[in-house]
Amino acid sequence: MRIDIVSIFPDYLAPLRLSLPGKAIDRGILELGVHDLRSWTRDVHRSVDDTPYGGGPGMVMRPDVWGECLDDVCPDDALLVVPTPAGVPFTQATAEEFSTESHLVFACGRYEGIDQRVFDDAARRVRVREVSIGDFVLIGGEVAVMAMIEATVRLIPGVLGNNESHEQDSFSDGILEGPAYTRPQQWRGLSVPPVLLSGDHARIAAWRHEQGLARTEALRPDLLAGPTVSAGPDHTA
Ligand SMILES: N#Cc1c(-c2ccc3ccn(Cc4ccc(CN5CCCCC5)cc4)c3c2)n[nH]c1N
Protein backbone atom coordinates (compact mmCIF):
# COMPACT_ATOMS: atom_id res chain seq x y z
CA MET A 1 0.00 0.00 0.00
CA ARG A 2 1.03 3.57 -0.69
CA ILE A 3 -0.26 6.45 1.42
CA ASP A 4 0.19 10.11 0.49
CA ILE A 5 -0.75 12.91 2.86
CA VAL A 6 -1.06 16.60 1.99
CA SER A 7 -0.88 19.18 4.80
CA ILE A 8 0.36 22.71 5.52
CA PHE A 9 1.96 21.17 8.63
CA PRO A 10 3.86 18.14 7.23
CA ASP A 11 5.96 17.81 10.41
CA TYR A 12 2.72 17.06 12.27
CA LEU A 13 2.67 13.68 10.52
CA ALA A 14 6.22 12.73 11.56
CA PRO A 15 5.02 10.42 14.39
CA LEU A 16 3.54 8.14 11.74
CA ARG A 17 7.05 6.87 11.08
CA LEU A 18 7.21 5.53 14.64
CA SER A 19 5.36 2.49 15.99
CA LEU A 20 3.18 0.44 13.67
CA PRO A 21 3.17 2.51 10.49
CA GLY A 22 6.93 2.97 10.89
CA LYS A 23 7.49 -0.79 11.12
CA ALA A 24 5.29 -1.31 8.08
CA ILE A 25 7.40 1.23 6.19
CA ASP A 26 10.68 -0.40 7.30
CA ARG A 27 9.37 -3.79 6.16
CA GLY A 28 8.28 -2.48 2.77
CA ILE A 29 4.58 -3.18 3.46
CA LEU A 30 3.78 0.53 3.33
CA GLU A 31 5.13 3.49 1.36
CA LEU A 32 4.43 6.88 2.94
CA GLY A 33 4.67 10.27 1.23
CA VAL A 34 4.00 13.53 3.11
CA HIS A 35 3.63 16.72 1.04
CA ASP A 36 3.58 20.40 2.03
CA LEU A 37 0.59 22.02 0.30
CA ARG A 38 2.52 25.29 0.10
CA SER A 39 4.82 23.65 -2.47
CA TRP A 40 1.97 24.24 -4.97
CA THR A 41 1.50 27.93 -4.18
CA ARG A 42 2.65 30.49 -6.75
CA ASP A 43 2.53 33.77 -4.81
CA VAL A 44 5.30 35.27 -2.74
CA HIS A 45 3.25 34.85 0.42
CA ARG A 46 2.62 31.15 -0.34
CA SER A 47 -1.08 31.75 0.45
CA VAL A 48 -3.40 28.75 0.80
CA ASP A 49 -6.58 30.38 2.13
CA ASP A 50 -9.02 33.20 1.48
CA THR A 51 -12.22 34.69 2.93
CA PRO A 52 -15.43 32.60 2.62
CA TYR A 53 -18.02 33.51 -0.02
CA GLY A 54 -21.31 34.30 1.73
CA GLY A 55 -19.49 35.45 4.87
CA GLY A 56 -19.03 33.39 8.02
CA PRO A 57 -16.18 32.78 10.44
CA GLY A 58 -12.57 32.14 9.55
CA MET A 59 -10.97 31.36 6.21
CA VAL A 60 -11.45 28.68 3.54
CA MET A 61 -8.61 26.84 1.74
CA ARG A 62 -8.26 27.86 -1.89
CA PRO A 63 -9.30 25.52 -4.73
CA ASP A 64 -6.48 26.51 -7.11
CA VAL A 65 -3.64 25.41 -4.83
CA TRP A 66 -5.38 22.18 -3.76
CA GLY A 67 -6.39 21.39 -7.33
CA GLU A 68 -2.85 21.60 -8.68
CA CYS A 69 -1.55 19.63 -5.71
CA LEU A 70 -4.03 16.77 -6.13
CA ASP A 71 -3.38 16.72 -9.89
CA ASP A 72 0.20 15.78 -8.98
CA VAL A 73 -0.28 13.68 -5.84
CA CYS A 74 -3.57 11.79 -6.45
CA PRO A 75 -3.65 9.42 -9.45
CA ASP A 76 -6.96 8.19 -10.89
CA ASP A 77 -6.75 4.77 -9.17
CA ALA A 78 -6.24 6.23 -5.69
CA LEU A 79 -8.91 6.70 -3.03
CA LEU A 80 -8.99 10.35 -1.94
CA VAL A 81 -9.89 10.60 1.76
CA VAL A 82 -10.92 13.96 3.17
CA PRO A 83 -11.33 14.30 6.94
CA THR A 84 -14.07 16.78 7.85
CA PRO A 85 -16.46 17.27 10.78
CA ALA A 86 -19.23 17.10 8.17
CA GLY A 87 -18.22 13.66 6.91
CA VAL A 88 -19.66 10.16 7.06
CA PRO A 89 -18.53 8.36 10.27
CA PHE A 90 -15.17 6.59 10.01
CA THR A 91 -15.67 3.18 11.61
CA GLN A 92 -13.84 -0.14 11.83
CA ALA A 93 -15.68 -1.12 8.65
CA THR A 94 -14.19 1.95 6.96
CA ALA A 95 -10.71 0.99 8.16
CA GLU A 96 -11.24 -2.52 6.76
CA GLU A 97 -12.30 -1.05 3.40
CA PHE A 98 -9.34 1.33 3.33
CA SER A 99 -6.91 -1.48 4.23
CA THR A 100 -7.71 -3.23 0.93
CA GLU A 101 -6.81 -0.17 -1.17
CA SER A 102 -3.48 0.00 -3.02
CA HIS A 103 -3.21 3.80 -2.79
CA LEU A 104 -4.77 6.21 -0.28
CA VAL A 105 -4.38 9.99 -0.53
CA PHE A 106 -5.36 12.03 2.54
CA ALA A 107 -6.13 15.76 2.18
CA CYS A 108 -5.62 17.53 5.52
CA GLY A 109 -7.56 20.75 5.65
CA ARG A 110 -7.13 23.58 8.11
CA TYR A 111 -8.99 26.84 8.83
CA GLU A 112 -12.74 26.23 8.19
CA GLY A 113 -12.07 23.56 5.59
CA ILE A 114 -11.34 23.25 1.88
CA ASP A 115 -13.36 24.80 -1.01
CA GLN A 116 -15.95 22.15 -1.94
CA ARG A 117 -15.10 22.45 -5.63
CA VAL A 118 -11.79 20.70 -4.94
CA PHE A 119 -13.67 17.48 -4.18
CA ASP A 120 -16.32 18.04 -6.86
CA ASP A 121 -13.49 18.38 -9.40
CA ALA A 122 -11.52 15.43 -7.99
CA ALA A 123 -14.67 13.24 -8.08
CA ARG A 124 -14.62 13.57 -11.88
CA ARG A 125 -11.63 11.17 -11.94
CA VAL A 126 -11.11 9.59 -8.50
CA ARG A 127 -13.21 8.06 -5.74
CA VAL A 128 -13.64 10.57 -2.88
CA ARG A 129 -14.57 9.83 0.76
CA GLU A 130 -15.40 12.72 3.09
CA VAL A 131 -15.21 11.15 6.56
CA SER A 132 -15.37 12.19 10.20
CA ILE A 133 -13.65 10.43 13.11
CA GLY A 134 -16.21 11.61 15.65
CA ASP A 135 -18.81 14.12 16.73
CA PHE A 136 -16.41 16.79 17.98
CA VAL A 137 -14.54 19.58 16.20
CA LEU A 138 -10.76 19.54 15.70
CA ILE A 139 -8.60 22.41 14.43
CA GLY A 140 -7.51 20.57 11.30
CA GLY A 141 -7.40 17.20 9.58
CA GLU A 142 -3.96 15.94 10.67
CA VAL A 143 -5.00 14.25 13.92
CA ALA A 144 -7.93 12.58 12.15
CA VAL A 145 -5.65 11.34 9.36
CA MET A 146 -3.17 9.85 11.86
CA ALA A 147 -6.01 8.03 13.60
CA MET A 148 -7.42 6.72 10.33
CA ILE A 149 -4.00 5.61 9.08
CA GLU A 150 -3.22 3.75 12.32
CA ALA A 151 -6.64 2.04 12.27
CA THR A 152 -6.15 1.11 8.60
CA VAL A 153 -2.48 0.07 8.52
CA ARG A 154 -2.80 -2.28 11.52
CA LEU A 155 -5.27 -4.34 9.45
CA ILE A 156 -2.82 -4.93 6.60
CA PRO A 157 -1.63 -8.57 6.76
CA GLY A 158 1.82 -8.84 8.31
CA VAL A 159 1.76 -5.46 10.08
CA LEU A 160 0.62 -6.72 13.46
CA GLY A 161 3.02 -9.30 14.91
CA ASN A 162 0.17 -11.69 15.69
CA ASN A 163 -2.56 -11.71 13.00
CA GLU A 164 -4.98 -12.82 15.69
CA SER A 165 -4.62 -9.45 17.40
CA HIS A 166 -7.01 -7.51 15.20
CA GLU A 167 -9.48 -10.34 14.78
CA GLN A 168 -10.52 -9.93 18.44
CA ASP A 169 -10.71 -6.14 18.20
CA SER A 170 -13.55 -4.15 19.53
CA PHE A 171 -16.11 -3.62 16.76
CA SER A 172 -14.67 -6.34 14.51
CA ASP A 173 -17.56 -8.64 15.51
CA GLY A 174 -19.91 -5.80 16.36
CA ILE A 175 -19.34 -5.75 20.13
CA LEU A 176 -16.71 -4.35 22.49
CA GLU A 177 -13.98 -6.65 23.75
CA GLY A 178 -14.01 -7.83 27.36
CA PRO A 179 -11.43 -6.98 30.06
CA ALA A 180 -7.77 -8.05 29.75
CA TYR A 181 -5.46 -9.29 32.53
CA THR A 182 -1.80 -10.20 32.95
CA ARG A 183 0.61 -11.11 35.77
CA PRO A 184 0.60 -10.94 38.77
CA GLN A 185 -2.45 -13.11 39.57
CA GLN A 186 -3.11 -11.07 42.75
CA TRP A 187 -2.61 -7.30 42.70
CA ARG A 188 -3.71 -4.87 45.44
CA GLY A 189 -6.22 -7.44 46.68
CA LEU A 190 -7.69 -7.89 43.19
CA SER A 191 -7.62 -11.30 41.50
CA VAL A 192 -7.64 -12.45 37.89
CA PRO A 193 -11.02 -14.11 37.07
CA PRO A 194 -10.45 -17.86 37.73
CA VAL A 195 -11.85 -18.89 34.33
CA LEU A 196 -8.81 -17.26 32.69
CA LEU A 197 -6.55 -19.61 34.70
CA SER A 198 -8.56 -22.72 33.78
CA GLY A 199 -6.86 -23.52 30.48
CA ASP A 200 -10.32 -24.34 29.12
CA HIS A 201 -10.19 -22.33 25.89
CA ALA A 202 -13.86 -22.85 25.03
CA ARG A 203 -14.95 -21.61 28.47
CA ILE A 204 -12.53 -18.69 28.26
CA ALA A 205 -13.84 -17.69 24.82
CA ALA A 206 -17.45 -17.93 26.04
CA TRP A 207 -16.64 -15.86 29.13
CA ARG A 208 -14.87 -13.18 27.07
CA HIS A 209 -17.85 -12.97 24.71
CA GLU A 210 -20.28 -12.64 27.65
CA GLN A 211 -18.09 -9.92 29.18
CA GLY A 212 -17.93 -8.07 25.85
CA LEU A 213 -21.68 -8.32 25.42
CA ALA A 214 -22.33 -7.01 28.94
CA ARG A 215 -19.89 -4.15 28.40
CA THR A 216 -21.54 -3.33 25.07
CA GLU A 217 -25.04 -3.36 26.56
CA ALA A 218 -23.88 -1.04 29.35
CA LEU A 219 -21.67 1.36 27.40
CA ARG A 220 -22.61 1.07 23.71
CA PRO A 221 -26.21 -0.21 23.29
CA ASP A 222 -26.18 1.54 19.91
CA LEU A 223 -23.85 -1.15 18.60
CA LEU A 224 -26.54 -3.73 19.31
CA ALA A 225 -29.27 -1.69 17.56
CA GLY A 226 -28.31 -2.91 14.06
CA PRO A 227 -26.22 -1.67 11.09
CA THR A 228 -25.11 1.98 11.06
CA VAL A 229 -24.04 4.34 8.28
CA SER A 230 -20.29 4.59 7.72
CA ALA A 231 -17.91 5.64 4.96
CA GLY A 232 -17.72 2.49 2.89
CA PRO A 233 -17.90 1.38 -0.78
CA ASP A 234 -21.59 2.25 -1.03
CA HIS A 235 -21.07 5.80 0.26
CA THR A 236 -19.72 8.32 -2.18
CA ALA A 237 -19.52 11.03 0.47
N1 LIG B 1 -12.30 14.05 10.53
C2 LIG B 1 -12.53 14.97 11.18
C3 LIG B 1 -12.86 16.01 12.09
C4 LIG B 1 -12.55 17.38 12.11
C5 LIG B 1 -11.82 18.21 11.14
C6 LIG B 1 -11.23 17.65 10.00
C7 LIG B 1 -10.61 18.44 9.06
C8 LIG B 1 -10.58 19.82 9.23
C9 LIG B 1 -10.10 20.91 8.47
C10 LIG B 1 -10.35 22.08 9.16
N11 LIG B 1 -10.99 21.75 10.31
C12 LIG B 1 -11.45 22.72 11.31
C13 LIG B 1 -12.90 23.00 11.15
C14 LIG B 1 -13.57 23.54 12.22
C15 LIG B 1 -14.94 23.84 12.12
C16 LIG B 1 -15.61 23.57 10.95
C17 LIG B 1 -17.10 23.89 10.87
N18 LIG B 1 -17.34 25.26 10.41
C19 LIG B 1 -18.64 25.70 10.88
C20 LIG B 1 -18.97 27.11 10.37
C21 LIG B 1 -18.94 27.15 8.85
C22 LIG B 1 -17.60 26.65 8.37
C23 LIG B 1 -17.26 25.28 8.93
C24 LIG B 1 -14.96 23.03 9.89
C25 LIG B 1 -13.58 22.73 9.98
C26 LIG B 1 -11.15 20.40 10.39
C27 LIG B 1 -11.76 19.60 11.34
N28 LIG B 1 -13.08 17.91 13.22
N29 LIG B 1 -13.72 16.91 13.89
C30 LIG B 1 -13.63 15.76 13.22
N31 LIG B 1 -14.19 14.57 13.62
Say whether 154 is catalytic.
Answer: yes
- DSSP string covering the chain, please? -EEEEEES-GGGGGGGGSHHHHHHHHTTS-EEEEEEGGGG--STT---EEPPTT--SS-EE-HHHHHHHHHHH--TTSEEEEEEEEEEEP-HHHHHHHTT-SEEEEE---TT-B-THHHHHHTTTSEEEEEESSSS--SSSHHHHHHHHHHHHTTSTTTSSSTHHHHT-TTTTSS-------S-SEETTEE--GGGGS--HHHHHHHHHHHHHHHHHHH-GGGGS-----SSTT---
Q: How far, in Å, from the CA of 126 to the mean position of ligand 1?
A: 23
pLDDT of res. 173? 78
Average pLDDT over residues 83-101: 97
Stated pTM of the model: 0.92
Average pLDDT over residues 14-29: 90
Pocket of ligand 1 (CB under 6 A): 56-57, 83-85, 87, 109-110, 112-113, 132-134, 136-141, 144
Task: Give the ipTM of the model, two decimals please.
Answer: 0.96
Tell me the average pLDDT of the chain: 93
Q: How far, in Å, from the CA of 88 to the mean position of ligand 1?
A: 13
pLDDT of res. 212? 97
**pLDDT cut 70: percent of the chain above it:** 91
pLDDT in tens, 120-132: 999 999 999 999 9
Kindly give the number of the ligand 1 atom that is closest to the alpha carbon of 148. Answer: 1
pLDDT in tens, 165-194: 676 667 767 899 999 999 999 999 999 999
Say whether 112 is catalytic.
Answer: yes
